[in-house]
Amino acid sequence: MVAKLQENEPKVSVIMLNHNGLTYLGDKLDKCISAVLKSDYQNFEFIFVDNNSTDGSVEYVQSKYLMDKRMLILRLDKNYGSSGGYNKGALKSSKGSKYLVFLHNDVEIPKNWIKEMVSFMESSDESAVGAISSVYDVRRAGIYGHVCVEYPSMYVVDVPVQESIVEINHFSTGCGIIKRDIFLSMGGFDESIFSWYDEVEVAWKIKLIGGRIIFNPGVSAIHHCAHIHFKISGLYRNIEIAEKNRIKLCFTFLEMPSLFALFVYELYRLLITPIKFKGAEVYRTSVVIKTLIRILYPKFFNDIITRRKRFQAYRRASDKAFFKPWYITVERYSGKLPRKAKLARLLYLLFA
């Protein structure tokens, strides 16, 4: 616990993203909005970004909360996805805000959450630009078990990361805080990524400029419907989106030795999957193969090269800066490592 802050509290813009929240969450949407407005932190604005809901979400929120002067409802003309929605919310935030807090509409924060997170950011000597904490599964603490799903990844999910302050590879839009000037200077989220890996893309940009993302174990929040996207879009559709974005980001951000390691890893998975797995894992592998072939298409290839040149130009840190937190996480794991985690660790030692 760090909190003190009262005089001269830096302004915070809390951005909550919604799409048909009434349908999927019911009264939980109320709980999550009310939780923000009950915060014991004084200097904040609350931007409720609606991605063109069709279930009356906006009308409901307007009728119940718009009288609160801290509340701003931003109704978008279409569903811009997670990246586009959050970007538009960030651009609408006050220029005087020092921090942006991103929340999913199914995340309920305790009243001291904002104060604790801001205190942590203000008192930290790190070049930290974010901290996350979310408890829908106490072992995961809001950090995806697979930051890049396979390689490169933070593969093991059963490490009790919530026990100490650690550097991580994933900035959570579900429950995270970041400095506004850094977020906007990086161009925010990549809007070509509608969903899945938008958070990893931002994390990679932060790492490239030498920044750090820190997990703050001092606070927690309730994530009510952690895997609702699977209910909405279906497992296989989500696998397809995630794998395409993962490969795209790897080719954009990784250095050449790490890309070679990625190729070795995917080759291993290609060979082993038909023998040992079925269903979703086989489908995942087929998506990877199609995506790797698609990279050779001129339009896709040129797009990746352009993006790669742009981001590599301001690289201030090697891939090791990205892989180190993952490697430490694996090393802290006391159980038997899955084979894929062992291989990823070997590739890290050889090439990162």
For residue 152, what pLDDT is reported?
42
Q: Which residues pair with 104 in a beta bridge?
A: 17
For residue 90, what pLDDT is reported?
98
The helix (run of H) or strand (run of E) holding residue 60 is: helix 57-65
For residue 262, what pLDDT is reported?
76
CA 187 to chain centre: 15
Q: Is 197 helix (H, G, I), strand (E, B) or coil?
A: coil
Interatomic CA distance for residues 266 and 237, integer angstroms:
20
pTM value is 0.84
Q: List average pLDDT for each run of 10 residues in the chain, which is 352 residues long.
A: 69 97 92 97 98 96 95 97 96 97 92 92 62 41 38 41 67 86 91 84 85 78 66 71 85 86 77 72 81 85 91 86 61 54 60 54
Candidates 277, 272, 209; CA nearest to 239 is: 277
Domain residues of the chain, as ranges?
Answer: 11-230, 234-351
- Tell me which CATH code domain 11-230 carries: 3.90.550.10
| Helices and strands, number each (H, E), in the chain | 14, 10
| Tokens at 280, concatenated | 């979703």
Contact 270, 289 (CB under 8 A): yes
